[in-house]
Amino acid sequence: MCGILAVLGCSDTSQIKRSRVIELSRRLRHRGPDWSGLHCYENFYLAHQRLAIVDPTSGDQPLYNEDKTIAVTVNGEIYNHEALREKLKSHQFRTGSDCEVIAHLYEEYGEDFVDMLDGMFSFVLLDTRDKSFIAARDAIGITPLYMGWGRDGSTWFASEMKALSDDCERFRTFPPGHIYSSKTGDLRRWFNPPWYSERIPATTYDPLVLREAFEKAVVKRLMTDVPFGVLLSGGLDSSLVASVASRHLAETKVAKQWGSQLHTFCIGLKGSPDLKAAREVANYLGTLHHEFNFTVQEGLDALEEVIYHIETYDVTTIRASTPMFLMSRKIKSLGVKMVISGEGSDEIFGGYLYFHKAPNKEEFHQETCRKVKALHLYDCLRANKATSAWGVEARVPFLDKNLINIAMDIDPEWKMVRPDQGRIEKWILRNAFDDPQKPYLPKHILYRQKEQFSDGVGYSWIDGLKDHASRHVSDAMLAQVINIFPENTPTTKEAYYYRAIFEKFFPKNSAQLTVPGGPSVACSTAKALEWDAAWSKNPDPSGRAALGVHAAAYDEEPSVTVTPIGANTKFAGKAMIDLSPNLADGIIKAVV
């Protein structure tokens, strides 16, 4: 991943403004530690922090057309760039960067080229010929993008909120699948697949078509000039990614910096289900496996930094982001700059445990549509920002544009959980890779039940978070929560704790509104709550909260006793950890 910042149409063109743009761009350097770039034209600024994955030697940004009248700053990967170059034979390319095609496509086709891109991307393009600009974001929102407005009438875009929150009067999340044009001053949707309207599809399930689409999605994401690996939890999704990638490397004898043996990575508390399952899958596939342990204390110590990087106060996102954040640091220490991950499968195939209660195929399909549309606020945000915090790029084959369109066009009757027919959640995906002649995975792994990432790394992780929040958010504080946080009011002590940290870093109302509102529940939408009224009484969003669905918890070592620095106070037999003084003071003053 890279970090982009654009300041367009500002009133100040002095050296002070240039220095300020550079200063704000530095806030994104964790996303792109390899090089920095800045293009200035009159009162337009395009800044870039590069993570070099493809063409590390010559692909520095911003990128240009032949005469440099068009400049573009891009965060992402364009997997079909070689095919697009064939369409642009009359153009001269300066680099081997996959992103350079964007400048030439605009020159050739105007603003309507975005749907030609196959990849994950956010970009801002400046046309100096008429002083116009466009900004666009990929179909699902795999890469982050924010849009803001300065007091002087300037328009801002940035990969992360932290680069514009101080200087913009207001800002918002740039919606996925959209393009903004300064010529019209409007956002318009460029991604308009049939499933987006939530109409019920009727295409018959073909396991071979689905398998082939997924294999192609994985293989195209092996496009890299740097060491890479796969995030392997041992669950269905990451295991299939690892299996397909491992097969491809073995069959093609691809020699990367680390050789043709695939590297896999997993993190968890000691004795967690993910560590055990991932080790088994890695042994089966013959990958070079890297297993990382973390403690509850290490996770708690990282919380503030995690929230600063991922820029949300959503409970489930923070729970899952913390171990992913810690793992990414370990991965980067090994020299790895790109990983492939399994996000998106549960949304497309209805893999969350509450889908067991879907009353009919119509509601099942409509809920999957809503989940996919919201991915940029949850799993995409987590996977991108938790890894980018350490200069690691995460690629997500389940969110391949072609694969999504194929999967979302299948008659949802095939996706329904049917115990009487032996169909568990994501049966159509499991069945597609259930090949007895040349097995992709062992049967018991292929049909392993869903674990949320925050659960799979160890159940005492979630329990530790709840205990920690309970020690620092009193009943009296929670009773006054509506007065302290009137927008998107937290409903639990854990949610209150995260919200307080978030607002220390991002105090503006615009920042609060970039996070989805409403209470955290076992499923994300009010419609799904109708499937089982009991869920509305359960404030915990953990996957285990899907009542009567999840299998028994595994045997784990006792919860870690948390020992704070310089504190000996005990609470319910465990040590207390104080909030940072500034944060604690802020909460106390707000309550008083």
Give the pLDDT confidence of 463-511 residue by residue, as tens digits. 999 999 999 999 999 999 999 999 999 999 999 999 999 999 999 999 9
What was the pLDDT predicted at 577?
A: 31
Give the pLDDT confidence of 14-38 residue by residue, as tens digits. 999 999 999 999 999 999 999 999 9
543 is in an annotated binding site: no
Catalytic residue among 2, 10, 99, 266: 2
- Report the C-alpha gap between 493 and 499 in whole angstroms: 10
- Report the C-alpha gap between 323 and 337 in whole angstroms: 18
Task: Pick the range with the lowest mean pLDDT from 67-76, 230-239, 454-463, 530-539.
Answer: 530-539
Quote the tokens at residue 322: 């913390």
231 is in an annotated binding site: yes
Answer whether residue 576 shows pLDDT above 50: no
What was the pLDDT predicted at 569?
A: 32
- Report the C-alpha gap between 278 and 267 in whole angstroms: 9
Bond before 62 cis per omega within 30 degrees: yes
| pLDDT category of residue 8 using cuts at 50, 70 and 90 | very high
The CATH number of 3-192, from 3.40.50.720, 3.60.20.10, 3.20.20.70, 3.30.70.360, is: 3.60.20.10
For residues 562-574, average pLDDT:
32
Q: Give the Cβ contact number of residue 26 at 10 Å.
A: 15
Which residues, in sequence order, are CB contacts of 3 under 8 Å at separation 6+?
25, 28, 29, 30, 31, 32, 48, 49, 75, 158, 159, 160, 163, 388
- Report the C-alpha gap between 260 and 253 in whole angstroms: 6
Residue 119: helix, strand or coil by DSSP?
strand
Helix (H) / strand (E) containing 249: helix 236-252
Stated pTM of the model:
0.90
Give the pLDDT confidence of 106-118 residue by residue, as tens digits. 999 999 999 999 9
Please, what's the b/e burial string for 132-151 (b: 16 or more CB within 10 A of its CB; e: otherwise)?
ebbbbbbbbbbbbbbbbbbe
What was the pLDDT predicted at 448?
A: 84
Give the pLDDT confidence of 271-320 residue by residue, as tens digits. 898 899 999 999 999 999 999 999 999 999 999 999 999 999 999 999 99
Which residues, in sequence order, are CB contacts of 455 under 8 Å at separation 6+?
462, 542, 543, 544
Answer whether residue 260 shows pLDDT above 80: no
Domain edges within the chain: 3-192, 197-545
3-state helix, strand, coil in the chain (%, to 5): 45, 15, 40
- Report the C-alpha gap between 444 and 236 in whole angstroms: 10
Give the pLDDT confidence of 41-56 residue by residue, as tens digits. 999 999 999 999 998 8
For residues 100-108, average pLDDT:
97
Task: Pick the range with the lowest mean pLDDT from 9-13, 281-285, 537-541.
Answer: 537-541
Q: Please tell me the number of Cα atoms within 13 Å of 17 on its side-chain side.
A: 19
**Would residue 2 show up in a list of annotated catalytic residues for this protein?**
yes
As beta bridge partners, residue 148 has 156, 171
Instruction: Classify domain 197-545 at the CATH class level.
Output: alpha beta
First to last CA, the chain: 43
Round the average pLDDT of the chain to a whole number and report it. Answer: 88
Residue 180: helix, strand or coil by DSSP?
strand
| Percent of the chain's residues with pLDDT above 70 | 85
What was the pLDDT predicted at 527?
A: 54
Answer whether residue 554 shows pLDDT above 80: no
| pLDDT category of residue 452 using cuts at 50, 70 and 90 | low
Angle at 565 (CA atoms; ends 561, 567), nearest 5 degrees? 80
List own/partner pairs for 540-544 with CB under 8 A and 24 or more apart: 540/492, 541/315, 541/316, 542/316, 542/319, 542/452, 542/454, 542/455, 542/462, 543/352, 543/353, 543/450, 543/451, 543/452, 543/454, 543/455, 544/452, 544/455, 544/459
Residue 278: helix, strand or coil by DSSP?
helix
What was the pLDDT predicted at 542?
A: 59
342 is in an annotated binding site: yes
| pLDDT category of residue 258 using cuts at 50, 70 and 90 | low
Closest CA to 313 of 494, 529, 580, 146: 494
Answer whether residue 243 shows pLDDT above 90: yes
As beta bridge partners, residue 395 has 340
59 is in an annotated binding site: no
The full 3-state SS of 283-297, as one line of letters, equals HHHCCEEEEEECCHH
Q: Give the Cβ contact number of residue 570 at 10 Å.
A: 10
Answer whether residue 414 shows pLDDT above 90: yes
Give the pLDDT confidence of 320-375 residue by residue, as tens digits. 999 999 999 999 999 999 999 999 999 999 999 899 999 999 999 999 999 999 99
Scan for tokens 């704000």, then name that residue: 24
What was the pLDDT predicted at 187?
A: 97
- The alpha carbon dihedral of 512, 514, 518, 521 has a sign of negative
Answer whether residue 389 shows pLDDT above 60: yes
Answer whether residue 543 shows pLDDT above 90: no
- Report the C-alpha gap between 27 and 346 in whole angstroms: 33
Answer whether residue 555 shows pLDDT above 70: no
Would you give the DSSP letter of residue 224? -
536 is in an annotated binding site: no
Give the pLDDT confidence of 184-207 residue by residue, as tens digits. 999 999 999 999 999 999 999 999
List of E strands, 154-274 = 155-158, 170-173, 178-181, 186-189, 228-231, 263-268
Answer yes or no: are the C-beta atoms of 288 and 316 closer than 8 Å: no
What was the pLDDT predicted at 259?
A: 66
Please, what's the b/e burial string for 268-303 (b: 16 or more CB within 10 A of its CB; e: otherwise)?
bbeebbbbebbbbbbebbebebbbebbbbbebbbbb
Residue 487: helix, strand or coil by DSSP?
coil
